[in-house]
Amino acid sequence: MDQSPSRSRTAIKGAVSVAAIGVAGFLILTSPWTWSLTHPRRDVAGPGPADLQNGRKLFLAADCATCHATPGQDNMLRLGGGRVLETAFGTFHMPNISPDPRDGIGGWSSEQFIRAVREGVGPDGAWPDGRNLYPSFPYTSYQRMTANDLRDMFAYIKTLEPVAGKAPEHELKFPFNLRRGVGIWRLAFLDGQPLPPAAPSPAAGADAVLARGRYLVEGPAHCAECHSPRTPLGNVQASLRYGGSPNPEGTGYVPNITPDETGIGFWSANAIADYLATGLSPIGKRAGGEMAEIVANTAQLPEADRHAMAVYLKTIPAVDRPGPGVPEPNRTGKVVMLPASFTSATRAAPLPTSDARAIAEAKDVYVADTSNLYLDAARLGTAGAEDGKVLGAARLAVLGRDGDRLQVRLAGWQVEGVDSVFYARQGQRIMQAVLGPAAIAKVARGASMQDPDTHQTWTRAELTFWIDGGKLNAQLPALWGYSARLFNTACAACHTLPSPQHYLANQWIGTLGAMKRFTSLSDGQYRLLLAYLQNHAKDTAAAAPAP
């Protein structure tokens, strides 16, 4: 008798059983209860009453408002969330942690708050064991905090204004979008322990200061989370802790803050404390970007706390790790000349262009390097036959192709009296192209409007032309990432880098132009860097993309 149907049913049953066992094992392994059962219980908050003044201090030290304050408003205590964090794992949207009972954490108990902050488990999941929180929330540092301190912080947050509205869900790549899987990460990298005892200090009276500084730096201030490199799994590399790292967005570098020569070894404890109060370094550089927001919080801490943090930072292990584009220190007695590889021109990578296949498939392309434009495809590449130039980051709609030559359309704005220039935005002098007489005559112009601030007349305009496909990129983020790295390598040698949003788009023209002669940037690098800064400026960063 033929046994194949019976064998097939047996095989199917076996496969289903294996799958069921696998699913059950995954659910058990990733359960917050599993983590709790395999880790010792911690201290429990006392009955109170909560110390609101202490809660505010810890709220400031933890820098909660920098991530959770609602963007686009001046009140940093409106914790409605919504800030976006772009990372290699995907896009994180910072949640609402205001006391709003529906959209924030106003309905949480103190115990639920402490569990979320120390264990990375929220109370609002679909499963009865809780909801695993992504470690973009730095609970690997917050786990060092005491229950009473977190009780006080939660009580302070509940005194703030409730803010309605939920942030969007995270937009993460597979498999990171499987939130349940974070349970495995927590088992691997969250030890759930308080700070271990520190070695006693030989200096009289120093133990209490060091202990306070250590608690603040390693716990609420979570300094290691940004200032340390991470493994591909996202955990901090212990041997390089505090040694500096690219920022999560990949657009900049968070410096080495260890007492090494490649870090801040030459800073005194008083200089570090002063920096946390004023944002001004010992060599006159001012904190920029997210560090400026952090200093706005640390400046409100008691002077004793800033001093304690500074004293502790002088005791952490030194890490020899120069920043990007910076050579190792010369530790010899001889004068050593830097090789040519460390000049700003050669330090910067070649301008980023897409391969021919990506360009061939793209509907829109972006100019990576200043390129000639031609009205007639037959003249493309002929010396002196160009009809103008198109500049870095200009967006071009692809209309047709002829080998590696592309027919494209540039859309932008022109201001009255300047027919030879295309701008990316109305009212903003973000240059896209410079035209010759023949190209000016071919511009198709649309509706006009008067700028309410300058009273100049701006007109929508389009131009169709041909361009070589060799200096283009199909992805605008690739150009912005390159430009951010260029900003770091070319400018950071002398300046603390301001956030692009510290200036208006039009102010960046003079600001960067004044420094151009002190760099070795090519014209293409300069134009792309200027476009990056202008498109991420104070008055353009939140605007819609350029046409």
- Over residues 364-391, the pLDDT tens digits come to 999 999 999 999 999 998 888 899 999 9
- Per-residue confidence (pLDDT) for residue 502, from 0 to 100: 72
pLDDT of 547 higher than 60:
no
3-state helix/strand/coil string of 15-67: HHHHHHHHHHHHHHHHCHHHHHHCCCCCCCCCCCCCCHHHHHHHHHHCCHHHH
229 and 297 share one domain: yes
Do both 175 and 258 map to the same domain?
Answer: no
Phi and psi angles of residue 468, each rounded to the nearest 5 degrees, phi first: -75, 140
* Nearest Cα to Cα of residue 435 among 372, 393, 364, 377: 372
Please give the pLDDT value at position 56: 95
Rounded to whole angstroms, the Cα distance separating 528 from 531 reads 5
- Residues 398, 517 within the same domain: no
Confidence (pLDDT) at 339: 67
d(CA 248, CA 272): 24
Report the distance separating Cα 194 and Cα 294, nearest Å: 24
Is 432 in a helix, a strand, or coil? strand
**Same domain flag for 238 and 101:** no
For residue 325, tell me if it sits in a domain: no
pLDDT of residue 346: 43
In a domain, 524, yes or no: yes
Task: Tell me what percent of the residues of the chain surpass a pLDDT of 70.
Answer: 88
- Please give the residue range of the domain that contains residue 487: 477-536
Query: Comparing C-alpha atoms, which of 116, 67, 87, 68 is closest to residue 177?
Result: 87
If we measure between CA atoms, which residue out of 378, 405, 534 comes closest to residue 472? 405
pLDDT grade, residue 203 (50/70/90)?
Answer: low
Average pLDDT of span 93-101 = 92
C-beta separation of 327 from 342 below 8 A: yes
Cis, bond preceding 49 (omega within 30 deg of 0): yes
Whether the per-residue pLDDT at 202 is higher than 70: the answer is: no
Is the predicted pLDDT of residue 426 greater than 60, yes or no?
A: yes
Report yes or no on 17 lying in a domain: no
pLDDT tens for 37-49 read 888 888 898 987 9
Range of lowest pLDDT (10-24, 68-82, 174-188): 10-24
Q: How many helices (H) and strands (E) does the chain have?
A: 19, 17
Longest dimension (CA), the chain: 94
Contact 411, 422 (CB under 8 A): no
Position 12 pLDDT exceeds 80: no
Q: What is the pLDDT of residue 545?
A: 43
The alpha carbon torsion through 429, 432, 436, 438 (nearest 10 deg) reads: -120
Q: Which of 255, 290, 314 is the last residue of a domain?
A: 314
Q: Is residue 343 part of a domain?
A: no
Residues 50-72 as b/e (b if ≥16 CB within 10 A, e otherwise) read: bbeebbbbbbbbbbbbbbbbbee
Average confidence (pLDDT) over 274-300: 87
Pairing of strands 171-172, 90-93: antiparallel
pLDDT at 3: 58
Asked if the structure places residue 344 within a domain, the reply is no
Global confidence as pTM: 0.66
> How much is the pLDDT for 288?
77
CB 477 within 8 A of CB 510: no
CA distance 362 to 473: 9
As a whole number of angstroms, the distance between CA 241 and CA 224 comes to 6
Looking at the structure, tell me whether residues 416 and 370 fall in a common domain.
yes
Q: Which residue has the higher pLDDT, 8 or 410?
A: 410
Residue 505 has pLDDT above 80, yes or no: yes
Q: What is the pLDDT of residue 410?
A: 96
Q: What is the pLDDT of residue 205?
A: 63
pLDDT band at 428 (very low <50, low <70, confident <90, very high): confident
User: Based on the domain organization, do 32 and 150 belong to the same domain?
Assistant: yes
Is pLDDT at 1 greater than 60 in this prediction? no
Compute CA distances 309 → 68, 117, 193, 219, whole Å: 24, 21, 21, 11
Is residue 541 in a domain?
no
Same domain, 67 and 143: yes
Residues 498 and 451 in one domain: no
Last residue of a domain, one of 282, 314, 346: 314
Q: What integer best gives the mean pLDDT of the chain?
A: 86
Q: What is the pLDDT of residue 201?
A: 63
Domain assignment present for residue 160? The answer is yes
User: What is residue 330's predicted lDDT score, i.e. its pLDDT?
Assistant: 82
Residue after which a domain boundary falls, among 144, 161, 189: 189
What's the CA gap between 282 and 440, in Å, rounded?
A: 52
174 and 51: one domain? yes
pLDDT value, residue 287: 82
Same-domain check for residues 180 and 290: no
Count other C-beta atoms under 10 Å from residue 23's C-beta. 10
The Cα 262–Cα 243 span in angstroms is 9
Rg (CA), the chain: 28
3-state secondary structure of 446: strand
Show the CA angle centred on residue 491, arms to residues 485 and 497, nearest 5°. Answer: 80
| CATH code of the domain containing 532 | 1.10.760
Residues 217-241 have a mean pLDDT of: 92
160-182 pLDDT tens trace = 999 998 888 888 888 887 888 88
Q: Are residues 152 and 266 in the same domain?
A: no
The verdict on 294 and 362 lying in the same domain is no
Please classify residue 157 by burial: count the beta carbons closer than 10 Å to its beta carbon, then call 0-12 exposed, 13-18 middle and 19+ buried.
buried
The phi and psi torsions of 506 (rounded to 5 degrees) equal -70, -25
Mean pLDDT of 221-238: 91
pLDDT confidence tier of residue 544, bands split at 50, 70 and 90: very low
Asked if the structure places residue 78 within a domain, the reply is yes
Task: Choose among 464, 364, 465, 359: nearest CA to 403.
Answer: 359
- Please count the structural domains in the chain: 4
Q: What is the mean pLDDT of residues 354-367?
A: 93
Least confident of 244-253, 355-364, 447-456: 244-253
What's residue 129's pLDDT? 80
